[in-house]
Amino acid sequence: KAGVTQTPRYLIKTRGQQVTLSCSPISGHRSVSWYQQTPGQGLQFLFEYFSETQRNKGNFPGRFSGRQFSNSRSEMNVSTLELGDSALYLCASSYSGQLNEKLFFGSGTQLSVL
Partner 1 sequence: GDSVTQMEGPVTLSEEAFLTINCTYTATGYPSLFWYVQYPGEGLQLLLKATKADDKGSNKGFEATYRKETTSFHLEKGSVQVSDSAVYFCALRESADKLIFGTGTRLQVFP
107 is a site residue for partner 1 (CB under 8 A): yes
94 is a site residue for partner 1 (CB under 8 A): yes
Give how far Cα 56 sits from Cα of 21, 39, 46, 112, 114, Å: 19, 24, 8, 26, 30
48 is a site residue for partner 1 (CB under 8 A): yes
Q: Per CB under 8 A, which region of 14-22, 60-68, 71-79, 94-102 contacts partner 1?
A: 94-102
In the chain, what is the straight-line distance between the N-terminal and C-terminal CA atoms, in Å?
A: 37
| Shortest distance (Å) from residue 3 CB to partner 1 | 9
66 is a site residue for partner 1 (CB under 8 A): no
105 is a site residue for partner 1 (CB under 8 A): yes
Report CA dihedral (8, 74, 41, 17) to the nearest 10 degrees.
60
Q: Per CB under 8 A, which region of 14-22, 45-53, 60-68, 73-81 contacts partner 1?
A: 45-53
Query: In the complex with partner 1, which residue's Cβ is closer, 57 or 63?
Result: 57
Report CA dihedral (20, 88, 113, 39) to the nearest 10 degrees.
150
